[in-house]
Amino acid sequence: MQGKHGRAYSKAMADDPLALFDAWFAEARAAEPNDPEAMALATADAGGRPSVRIVLLKGHGPQGFDFYTNLDSRKGAELAANRQASLLFHWKSLRRQVRIEGAVELLPDAEADAYFASRARDSQIGAWASDQSRPLDRRETFEQRFAAMQQRFAGQDVPRPPRWGGFRLKPAAIEFWTDRPHRLHERRLFTRTAGGWDEGLLYP
């Protein structure tokens, strides 16, 4: 049986998980007052030490879920050492969560270039001025670097920094969580298989 995204899935399933995410995300964009694209990104270094932060979803589809960062940031370094990661969307207005686990891969340069070109100019310049996740002696140092980059790129397009790019998380498991009274929540887990997806329920 084929879903909307061309993925095979079990006949026992009521939904294709990628199509279900599309529907939930559309509802979140209509209902969530601030940043429905915000998602927690959990990574771990080669030794297994975890870290988590909020990033923004910048694209999604059958191939996976995309986000961008400085490749020398902590998350960039951890993803280079350990390609496994997890995402979590929490849409409080809808009382829903979506948790996604899988391996990540670097996005092609052409996709990173296209997205970087779409960013606000000050955001582009900020990417050049920031050594993301590195120690900063004082705020004024960063502001001075930003001003210097404004002068450097005055009157011209701002190119993508060489160590700035994107990642795509390819989902191996997607869990849809729905709030229910008395903590009797509903949890639907979709797990990727060789033939498509299997669906099961989890105790809340």
Residue-wise pLDDT tens digits, 78-87: 999 999 999 9
pLDDT attached to residue 15: 82
What CATH number is associated with residue 80? 2.30.110.10
Residue 71 lies in a domain: yes
Per the DSSP assignment, residues forming a β-bridge with 21 are: none
Residue 173 lies in a domain: yes
Residue 24 lies in a domain: yes
Rounded distance between C-alpha atoms, residue 97 and residue 202, angstroms: 14
The contacts of residue 200 (CB under 8 Å, 6+ apart) are 188, 189, 191
Residue 126 lies in a domain: no
- List, by residue number, the catalytic residues: 183
In whole angstroms, what separates CA 36 from the centre of its chain?
A: 12
Indicate whether this model's pTM tops 0.85: yes
Give pLDDT < 70 ranges for the chain.
Answer: 1-14
Number of structural domains found in the chain: 1
Give me the domain span that covers residue 91: 17-119+163-202
- Nearest CA to 164 among 75, 92, 102, 98? 75
Q: Is 69 helix (H, G, I), strand (E, B) or coil?
A: strand
pLDDT attached to residue 47: 94
Residue 158 lies in a domain: no
Residue 131 lies in a domain: no
pLDDT attached to residue 14: 60
Residue 135 lies in a domain: no
Rounded distance between C-alpha atoms, residue 176 and residue 21, angstroms: 8
CB 18 within 8 A of CB 4: yes
pLDDT attached to residue 140: 97
On the CB side of 26, how many CA atoms lie within 13 Å of its CA? 6
